[in-house]
Amino acid sequence: MFEQIFTPNPDAEKPTPIRPRKGVIIGVGQVGMACAYSILIQNCFDELILQDINQEKVQGEVMDLRHGMPFLSPTELKGGTVADEGKDADMVIITAGAAQKPGETRLELVGRNVNIFKGILGDVVKYCPNAILLIVTNPVDILTYVTLKITQFPSARVLGSGTVLDTARFRSLIGHKLGIDSRSVHAYIMGEHGDSEFPVWSSAHIGGTKIVSGEWNDLSNSEKEELNNIFNQVKNAAYDIIKLKGYTSYAIGLGVTDIVKAILQSHERILTISTLISGLYGINDVCLSLPTVVNEKGALKSVNLSLNDLEKEQLLNSAQVLKDIFKQLDL
């Protein structure tokens, strides 16, 4: 009776232990270093390699982090590339790319970052043929799809950070409003990690109690406004933070570490990562975020979440937005 809950990923394999664990982070900007710091203090890898076109910065970051190693569980930290120190890595995390400017949408970054990825992925395919690839650079859904097409890796092994951070922001705001631990909030942001994302209010709940007990249209205008205000804070969070401090870093670093731990420790955790969608909700050949079970082989299966008509329409719209952008790319 439980078969209807999930849609298996045909590319997923049976998990096997990974020891020792080697990871590569490509890109040591604000996001890359937030990921590196969070990954190190949570003892995810036995060996971690930092790669960036700016080799002096890599050297400085490695020195700085190494000086803190007496306070941490041992990790062999190096500067290098996938072609030397990073060969046969278990995971390659890509944060390299042009920075998002104030007022610039994630999708406006496409052209610049696709060209950067073309220069990175050749060596990744050659020297890390069995790695799970985790894409963090924005626009993450487009670049996850670009990575899939360029590498020709199985879709289970090409993941984007997707709406993991948006979902965390969503739960955090709801938890703060209700005065409860945000880990007790079960709610998702789905679709594009960007302007066409949407909240799944129909299944959002706390301790089994739905936040929206009936249909959306049955809510009063004030109730709709209150819920929309929460979602708008989620959707605009990156823009607000970039306006205030120039970039986002800490929360995505923690989110990426959550994904890394779910993979390396085979948690079979449900996370809203961005993966290739093939047939679910009538969507094909696009990468976007749905609740997905993650283990040591990557994206294992997608949750067949029941959506109302509005949410289905929003998901299809998000998929079309991404497809329209991808059609404009020169691959």
Give the residue-averaged pLDDT of 201-208.
94
Lowest mean pLDDT across 9-13, 273-277, 302-306: 9-13
Domain extent for 108? 15-160
156 and 181 fall within a common domain: no
Tell whether the model's pLDDT for residue 106 goes beyond 70: no
- Same domain, yes or no: 104 and 231: no
Q: Return the CATH number at 296.
A: 3.90.110.10
Provide DSSP, 165-206.
HHHHHHHHHHHHHHTS-GGGEE--EEB-SSTT-EE-TTT-EE
Write out pLDDT tens, residues 278-320: 999 999 999 999 999 999 999 999 999 999 999 999 999 999 9
| Residue 6 located in a structural domain | no
151 pLDDT above the threshold of 90: yes
Query: 156 and 168 share a domain?
Result: no
**Which of residues 160, 193, 223 is at a domain's end?**
160
Model pLDDT, residue 90: 96
Sign of the dihedral through C-alpha 199, 323, 31, 303: positive
pLDDT value for 236: 94
156 and 19: one domain? yes
pLDDT above 90: percentage of residues in the chain = 82
**Which pLDDT score, from 0 to 100, does residue 165 have?**
98
d(CA 267, CA 85): 28
Using 50, 70 and 90 to split pLDDT, how confident is the model at 15? low
Choice among 14-18, 163-167, 257-261, 308-312 with the minimum mean pLDDT: 14-18
Nearest Cα residue to 169 out of 249, 251, 254: 251
pLDDT at 323: 94
For the question of residue 67 being annotated catalytic, the response is no
Question: Do residues 184 and 207 touch, judged by C-beta distance below 8 A?
Answer: yes
* 17 burial level (CB within 10 Å; 0-12, 13-18, 19+): exposed
Answer whether residue 206 is part of any domain: yes
Mean pLDDT to the nearest integer, 135-145? 95
Residue 155 above 90 pLDDT?
yes
Same domain, 156 and 187: no
Domain co-membership, 143 together with 285: no
Share of the chain above pLDDT 70, in %: 96
In a domain, 19, yes or no: yes
CA 22, CA 15: separation in Å to the nearest integer?
Answer: 17
Could you say which of 67, 193, 205, 267 is catalytic? 193
User: Are 168 and 305 within one domain?
Assistant: yes
Residue 234 lies in a domain: yes
Q: What is the CATH number of the domain that holds 155?
A: 3.40.50.720
What tens digit of pLDDT does each residue of 21-45 get?
A: 999 999 999 999 999 999 999 999 9
pLDDT greater at residue 22 or residue 108: 22
Assess whether 117 and 144 both reside in one domain.
yes
CA-nearest of 146, 108, 121, 87 to 286 is 146
- Would you say residue 2 lies in a domain? no
- Residues 308, 233 share a domain: yes
- The reply to whether 319 and 180 lie within a common domain is yes
Q: What is the pLDDT of residue 4?
A: 82
CA dihedral for 279, 283, 288, 290, sign (positive or negative): negative
Which pLDDT does position 171 carry in this prediction?
98
Residue for token pair 């299944």: 203
Contact 75, 43 (CB under 8 A): yes
| pLDDT over 70 (residue 169) | yes
Q: Report yes or no on 4 lying in a domain.
A: no
Confidence of residue 9 (pLDDT cuts 50, 70, 90): confident
Average pLDDT over residues 10-16: 74
User: Given 126, 143, 160, which residue is the final one in a domain?
Assistant: 160
Q: What value does the mean pLDDT of the chain take? A: 93
Whether residue 274 is found in the same domain as residue 259: yes
Element at 26 (helix H, strand E): strand 22-26
Q: Extract the tokens encoding 219.
A: 């809510």
Number of domain units in the chain: 2
Cβ-based neighbours of 241, under 8 Å, separated by 6 or more: 247, 248
- At residue 2 the predicted structure's pLDDT band, cuts being 50, 70 and 90, is confident
Is 307 a domain residue?
A: yes
Q: Give the DSSP H or E segment for 298.
A: strand 298-303
Claim to verify: residue 175 and residue 249 sit in the same structural domain: yes
Q: Are 269 and 294 in contact (CB under 8 A)?
A: yes
Phi first, then psi: give them for residue 81, nearest 5 degrees: -135, 170
Which of 107, 132, 160 terminates a domain? The answer is 160
Q: Is residue 196 part of a domain?
A: yes
